[in-house]
Structure 1
Amino acid sequence: MNLSDLALFVAATEAGSLAGAARRSGTSALQASRRIAALEQDMGIRLFHRTTRALTLTDEGERFLPYARTMIDAQAEARAALGFDGGQVTGTLRLTASLAFGRKVVTPALIDFLKLHPQLEVNLVLSDDILDMVVQGLDLAIRVTSRLRESSLVARRLADNPRGLYASPSYLAAAGTPRRLAELAAHDCLPDGSTGYWTFRTGERTIRQKIGGRLSTHSIDAIHQACTEGAGIALLSEWDVKEDLASGKLVPVPIADAKPEPMIIVALYPSARLLPSKVRLFIDYMHARLMS
């Protein structure tokens, strides 16, 4: 199996056409078509459905794509280990993060990381859905979670994710400021749409406090916006409210008898075996950045 043909196959899936893959690879569309056909013959499967206007993966092509990427990454790792690439990180780092955290924290980190590694490319997927990393061909997921759950993925804790209750000054002026946990029941709160309660810790105990309000949504960005516009009290991460606290759009709402359940920021990846340097270096970079 020719690794350059595998690279062409991956390039075609990313470009959406053989012509685009050919341009990336410095070859002609005709030659690219012949090489993909030779790869399909070698493997004994059809990788693409081809029409005059579209190029889409077959089911076999979908299943083969993450393995093709792994083989290409392994070659890059071997070249780097042997000094063929001058010690530079190369290839494409494919990762996912949630929408709000990815936009505010991960994207700025990636921009700075790319400046340190000019031969690296990044494909960032922002989604609040939990994606199948193997099927999607992802190297890494950065997530905010309440605990490390048992799964087939390897997890590394990057940093704590402190949270608090926040509201706009206009909301508190109109509705008053709750001081104790039970008082939240009388306020408009902004739940994330999946539950009707928030989880708090008091001493060693965990408490689920029932909350209610006229607006609920699965979007943290929408909750944040509604909170700044005076719609109620929101439970938000510190990284999400720094600018609003500085400008006075939001103020903390401390509760005397409880604190929000702590959360953590974790890196998830399919396997610790032969972890590509691009993944390891970005995990280390994110850890140092979040802890600074």
Structure 2
Amino acid sequence: MDIGKIDMAGVAVFVNAASAGSLSAAARRLGIAPMAATRRLAALEESLGVRLMQRTTRSVSLTAEGEAFLPFASTIIEAAEAGRAVVFPTENGATGLLRVTACNSIGHAVIMPLLSRLLDENPSLRIDLLLTDTLVDIVSTGVDVAVRIGDLKDSSLIASSLGINKRILCASPTYLARRGSPRTLQELTDHDCVVTTGTLHWPFNVAGSEQAVRITGRVTTNSIDGVHNACVAGAGLAILSTWHAVEDIEAGRLVPITLEDAEPKELGIWAVYPTRRQILPKVRVFVDAVRERLS
């Protein structure tokens, strides 16, 4: 490879195509025509004297040379973006495309409501928000920051705290009228609980320590939104994040339940980054906005 002949436009296409899986997707991210993306990648390969990607009509895959070059190319793009932010600060705030992923619950309740203000304050900022309850590999997909709830498993990623997810045990008035309200953890086992698919236990704080309580119920669903809706409909008890339950509690659609001997475990909320390098302004303004809203 002749590193001295690297074209930044071609490198940007290569990095985005590698994470997005196709040249057309890379073109959309960069705001250029698909044909322009194809030409830029071809020019980069010609200048380096190697083939970086195998192309089909719908997807791309890295060659051995492409896999070797990708970490270097990603570093070039990150360094260039950080350098522009330092050398050419703008009065218009953060710039560029910010790629964010989060689970559906916090995405709809916390992130979506702050997007309008964030975009107004940063006219040159664009946001690509992926909401999914599936854990996303933020390194391979090119995500700038992930908002995650709970214990972090991957020690190779960098994380900073955004706040605490305080959760509420609750049920609908119709369910409580039919089954009564539990007063202790022991009584909880006699109730129907609505949970996400595969959940067998709920974690509680009991006298300063964590205790997992086995729960049962007749309704499970693959999303926390489904749990929320089923709980409001009277299918059973549920543990919901404050932001998910508060409006329904205020409106009388849900009733908070306080146990005498335990309370639902609070979970950490984290901003997770794929790299230890400098946090770019577009990431920083987003993280600050989420942290402020959660506080």
- State the TM-score, normalizing by the size of structure 1: 0.87
2:62 corresponds to:
59
Label 1:19 to 1:243 Cα distance change in 2 as closer, same or farther (>3 A).
closer
1:253 corresponds to:
257
Query: In the aligned structure 1, how far is the partner of 2:232 from the partner of 2:173?
Result: 9
CA contact under 8 A between 2:92 and 2:123: conserved in structure 1? no
1:141 to 2:151 alignment? no
CA contact under 8 A between 1:89 and 1:120: conserved in structure 2? yes
- AA matched with 2:212: R
1:92 corresponds to:
97
1:104 to 2:101 alignment? no
- CA drift at 1:74: 2.6
CA contact under 8 A between 1:62 and 1:135: conserved in structure 2? no
1:210 corresponds to:
214
Query: In the aligned structure 2, how far is the partner of 1:148 from the partner of 1:18?
Result: 30
Label 1:139 to 1:67 Cα distance change in 2 as closer, same or farther (>3 A).
farther
2:55 corresponds to:
49
Query: In the aligned structure 2, how far is the partner of 1:105 from the partner of 1:91?
Result: 22
CA contact under 8 A between 1:191 and 1:197: conserved in structure 2? no
1:184 corresponds to:
188
Query: In the aligned structure 2, how far is the partner of 1:67 from the partner of 1:125?
Result: 26
CA contact under 8 A between 1:169 and 1:250: conserved in structure 2? yes
Query: In the aligned structure 2, how far is the partner of 1:190 from the partner of 1:18?
Result: 38
* 1:153-201 deviations in Å (ceiling 9; x for gaps): 1111111110011100000001111111111111111122223221111
Task: Give structure 1 stretches of 5+ with no counterpart.
Answer: none
Query: In the aligned structure 1, how far is the partner of 2:109 from the partner of 2:195?
Result: 21
Query: In the aligned structure 1, how far is the partner of 2:26 from the partner of 2:99?
Result: 23
CA contact under 8 A between 2:23 and 2:38: conserved in structure 1? no
Counterpart selection for 2:126 from 121, 124, 138: 121
1:17 corresponds to:
24
Counterpart selection for 1:274 from 233, 254, 278: 278
Label 1:166 to 1:197 Cα distance change in 2 as closer, same or farther (>3 A).
same
- AA matched with 1:17: S
CA contact under 8 A between 1:92 and 1:122: conserved in structure 2? yes
- Between stretches 10-19 and 73-82, larger displacement belongs to 10-19
Q: CA RMSD in A?
A: 2.8
Label 1:165 to 1:195 Cα distance change in 2 as closer, same or farther (>3 A).
same
1:168 to 2:172 alignment? yes
Q: Taking every aligned residue pair, what percent have the same amino acid on both sides?
A: 39
- Between stretches 264-273 and 55-64, larger displacement belongs to 55-64
2:3 corresponds to:
none
Counterpart selection for 1:36 from 17, 37, 41: 41
Query: In the aligned structure 2, how far is the partner of 1:182 from the partner of 1:24?
Result: 58
- Between stretches 85-94 and 135-144, larger displacement belongs to 85-94
**Secondary structure of 1:72 counterpart:** helix
1:287 corresponds to:
291
- Between stretches 136-145 and 208-217, larger displacement belongs to 208-217
- Between stretches 2-11 and 71-80, larger displacement belongs to 2-11
Label 1:68 to 1:249 Cα distance change in 2 as closer, same or farther (>3 A).
farther
Query: In the aligned structure 2, how far is the partner of 1:89 from the partner of 1:33?
Result: 28
Query: In the aligned structure 1, how far is the partner of 2:30 from the partner of 2:263?
Result: 56
Query: In the aligned structure 1, how far is the partner of 2:188 from the partner of 2:29?
Result: 60
Query: In the aligned structure 2, how far is the partner of 1:69 from the partner of 1:85?
Result: 24
- CA drift at 1:46: 3.6
